[in-house]
Amino acid sequence: MSSQPHIVLRWVVRRTRLPRVSLRCVDCRSESATIGEGRFRVNANGKLLDIWLLVRCVSCGRTSKLTVHERAPVRSFDPAELHGYHVNDPELVACWLLDPRLARRNRFTLDWTGAWRLDAPPAGFVEAWPVQVEVVFEDPVPVRPERLIAQGLGLSRNEVLRRITCDIPLRRPTSAGFIFTVTAGD
Ligand SMILES: [Zn+2]
């Protein structure tokens, strides 16, 4: 009897919408803001540009600005990128919102609650254990492998701990791809 996995499944984690921004509102102290449709503000000062990404407090509607570029020379921009800021290109909005540099610079964290899903083919048909599963992240959603696996396989956390071997720690949140192996239940 071989212990090599017979079947390799592929799970994909992807966003269903843009995550919210956890950032304290200066007016109402709420800590949740939304990017909405996604809007940039571009301000030209001579040959320098300031560019912000706008977010709106979900509680009072106050608009705040997240600094994207500060006093950057116009000539340092790729024309296509600059055009993207002017037309609020949704891809550029997502790209910046999900860029950890923006979060660091503006001191916010992303709130992924309800903004992502796991696409996992059902493993119920599996007859030949063990099974190997490759988890791929299309978006940088931080998940606890233990929880994700429990959800994807419909197992309890205890069962996950008993039946799973994984190449990374099961309890530490990650948004980098990983692989795990499931052995047969009792
Ligand atoms: Zn507010």
Q: What is the pLDDT of residues 102-151, one digit of tens each?
A: 999 999 999 999 999 999 987 666 667 788 999 999 999 999 999 999 99
- State the distance from the centre of ligand 1 to the C-alpha of 18, rounded, in angstroms: 19
**What is the CA(173)–ligand 1 centre distance, in A?**
29
Q: What is the tens place of the pLDDT at every residue in 72-109?
A: 999 999 999 999 999 999 999 999 999 999 999 999 99
Q: How far is the CA of 136 from the centre of ligand 1 (A)?
A: 36
Domain boundaries, the chain: 7-15+114-182, 20-111
- Residue 181 alpha carbon to ligand 1 centre in Å: 46
- Nearest-angstrom CA–CA distance, 144 and 135: 12
pLDDT value for 130: 86
> What number of CA atoms fall less than 13 Å from residue 12's CA on the CB side?
7
CA of 104 from ligand 1 middle (Å) equals 21
- 26 alpha carbon – ligand 1 mean position (Å): 7
Q: What is the pLDDT of residue 184?
A: 83
Least confident of 1-5, 55-59, 88-92, 99-103: 1-5
Query: Which residue spans within the chain are E strands per DSSP?
Result: 7-15, 20-22, 33-45, 48-57, 63-73, 109-111, 116-119, 131-137, 164-166, 178-182
Q: Give residue 122 CA to ligand 1 midpoint distance, Å.
A: 42
Centre of ligand 1 from the C-alpha of residue 53, in Å: 17
Cα distances (Å, whole numbers) of residue 26 to 38, 50, 53, 64: 21, 22, 17, 9
pLDDT for 5 equals 62
Task: Report pLDDT digits (tens) over 22-43.
Answer: 999 999 999 999 999 999 999 9
Model pLDDT, residue 1: 47
Mean pLDDT of the chain: 92
Cα(162)–Cα(102) distance, integer angstroms:
39
Q: Near ion ligand 1, which residues have CB within 5 Å?
A: 25, 27-28, 30, 57, 59-60, 62
Query: Residue 180: pLDDT band by 50, 70, 90 thresholds?
Result: very high
d(CA 74, CA 51): 11
**CA–CA separation, 20 and 58 (whole Å):** 9
| Model pTM score | 0.85
Distance (angstroms) between ligand 1 centre and the Cα of 179 equals 41
Calculate how far, in angstroms, residue 95's C-alpha sits from the geometric centre of ligand 1. Answer: 25
Partners of 63 in beta bridges: 56
Average pLDDT value for residue range 48-70:
97
Task: Give how far Cα 127 sits from Cα of 29, 72, 148, Å.
Answer: 54, 59, 22
Measured in residues, the chain has a length of 186
Sign of the alpha-carbon torsion through 15, 82, 73, 45: negative
CA 93 to ligand 1 center in whole angstroms: 22
Backbone angles phi, psi at 153, to 5 degrees: -100, -5
CA distance 43 to 20: 25
